[in-house]
Amino acid sequence: MDRIAITGGAQLNGVIPVSGAKNSAIKLMAASLLTDEPLRLTNMPRLADTRFLGKLLTRLGVSVTESDGPDGQQTILHAPEITSGFAPYDLVRQMRASFNVLGPLVARSGQAKVSLPGGCTIGARPVDLHLQALEALGAKIDLHEGYVYAQAPRGLKGAEIVFPIVSVGATEHAMLAAVLADGVTVIRNAACEPELVDLQECLNAMGAKVEGAGTPTVTITGVARLKGATHSVIPDRIEMGTYAVAAAMAGGEVRLTKARPELIESLSVKLEEAGATVVRTEDGVIVKRNGSRLNAVDLETAPFPGFATDLQAQFMALMTTANGESRIRETIFENRFMHAPELMRLGADISVHGGEARVRGVEQLEGAEVMATDLRASVSLVIAGLVARGETVVSRIYHLDRGFERLEEKLGACGAQVRRIKGDGEPEL
């Protein structure tokens, strides 16, 4: 399998265009199951995760066509009919978000059999809330031998769904199912992430009646059918934040374009607090650091608009060479400090106690062989490698390929000494 090698010490200077959001694109792709007309998604990232979901959708009856259109990279999805309601384990296990085909399948065809998901090893991340939402909408749910059997032969019915905890995936899943339900659905304690707003805009372009996304209460008035549409995927705030941290880590000046600065405001504030310069622009941000050592900063992850859990590992890497001690508290996912031991292999001084990590900044990191542990944590090792003395080699980078488009190309264009070492074959996921 492939590896990435980084020779530390080079500043970053240049422009990085931000890709479309992975976390939004995969839910928008699932929306194609809701209509027999084509759905055209522009600003589409080309990632392992979108490829995995494309394979699953093809099995269910969706034609998936990727091309370069007038608006850049696009994917056209067309499901004139659902040819299968079965989503097998060998496909669903590769990406847990593919479980979200369950709701659209039941909404459109009245039944589905979908494997329980696999995915990143960052805690239990149960699908109970997803299933409770579908049951509230009138679906009959049975679990048997690792599969979910869902039936609603007379269609789904509008309902009130109250989530006991905030869940992005469950909120998205409920929205995808409720748009074709008979009557009004009200989702309370909904997640407020920007990807929910993006999903609402796409569904409404398809003829749905959804309002309130981005707030704790989402109201959906069901319609009889949806039509085709064209929709541009929101910029990826996690990719944007990752490269902002990389620029602050390595020093220099990087302009991030094709993005929205308000999507990473909580990160920008922390970067400025640490001593980096962040300039908001109309289509992104400029991140600068003149070479002086950063200061240690404490942070706590929280649902949007708080500090994103998907940027926690990257910020921890930044703090490994900061002046002083920082405390990083993870409140979203348990077991999400698996990158800490790998950063310690580079010489970082980190101690983890439950949901809190203490990072004592060191003068210099040293290159070493390290291993990616999950999608977001893997890029924290690349960020650390940008300043480590000598060469850092990151293995198991199929995690990186799931969520970061052309990583080596984008960093290399700004002066990073980074290269991919090709392996002998594809990893077994």
Which tens digits make up the pLDDT trace of 181-239? 999 999 999 999 999 999 999 999 999 999 999 999 999 999 999 999 999 999 999 99
How many Å apart are CA 164 and CA 358, to the nearest integer?
Answer: 30
Tell me if 382 is assigned to some domain: yes
13 in a domain, yes or no?
A: no
Q: Which domain holds residue 278?
A: 235-421
Residue 69 in domain: no
Locus of tokens 């949901």: 355
Q: Are residues 375 and 250 in the same domain?
A: yes
**Residues of the chain falling short of pLDDT 50:** 119-124, 426-429
Angle value at C-alpha 344, between 340 and 345, nearest 5 degrees: 120
Query: Which of the listed residues 231, 247, 269 is the one where a domain comes to its end?
Result: 231
Phi then psi dihedrals of residue 418, to 5 deg: -135, 140
**Bind-site residues for UDP-N-acetyl-alpha-D-glucosamine:** 96, 125-129, 310, 332
Quick one: 120 and 156 in the same domain? yes
CA distance 15 to 296: 27
Residues 285 and 302 in one domain: yes
CB neighbour list of residue 175: distance below 8 Å, 6 or more residues apart: 187, 196, 199, 200, 203, 210, 213, 218, 220
Give the pLDDT confidence score for residue 426 in this predicted structure: 47
Considering the domain architecture, whether residues 192 and 285 belong to the same structural domain is answered as no
Cα(379)–Cα(143) distance, integer angstroms = 36
Contact indicator for 17, 258 with CB cutoff of 8 Å:
yes
Query: Could you tell me if residue 227 is inside a domain?
Result: yes
220 belongs to a structural domain:
yes
Out of 231, 246, 278, a domain closes at 231
Domain boundary among 168, 202, 231: 231
What is the pLDDT, as a whole number, of residue 424? 64
State pTM to two decimals. 0.94
pLDDT in tens, 285-318: 999 998 789 999 999 999 999 999 999 999 999 9
Mark whether 372 and 341 lie in a shared domain.
yes
Asked if the structure places residue 274 within a domain, the reply is yes
Residue 107 maps to a domain: yes
The separation between CA 187 and the C-alpha centre of its own chain, rounded to angstroms, equals 22
* Beta strands per DSSP E along 27-159: 39-42, 63-69, 72-78, 86-87, 111-115, 140-144, 147-151
Residue 34 domain-assigned (yes or no): no
Q: Which amino acids are annotated as binding site for phosphoenolpyruvate, given as ranges? A: 22-23
Task: Please indicate, yes or no, whether residues 224 and 258 belong to a single structural domain of this protein.
Answer: no
Are 278 and 130 found together in one domain? Answer: no
Strands (E), 212-313: 217-221, 229-232, 252-257, 277-281, 284-289, 299-300
pLDDT of residue 304: 93
Residue 370, SS3?
strand
- CA distances to 113, 115, 116, 211, 401 from 95, in Å: 17, 11, 11, 28, 12
Tell me the C-alpha distance between 295 and 34, whole Å: 50
The answer to whether the beta carbons of residues 180 and 157 sit under 8 Å apart is no
Longest alpha-carbon distance in the chain: 65
**In angstroms, rounded to a whole number, what is the distance separating the alpha carbons of residues 296 and 259?**
27
Q: Are residues 376 and 276 in the same domain?
A: yes
Let me know whether 205 and 273 are in one domain. no
Is residue 226 located within the same domain as residue 304?
no
Specify whether 179 is located in the same domain as 89: yes
Name the residues annotated as catalytic: 120
Do residue 293 and residue 189 come from a single domain? no
Residue 202, domain CATH: 3.65.10.10
Report the number of distinct structural domains present in the chain. Answer: 2
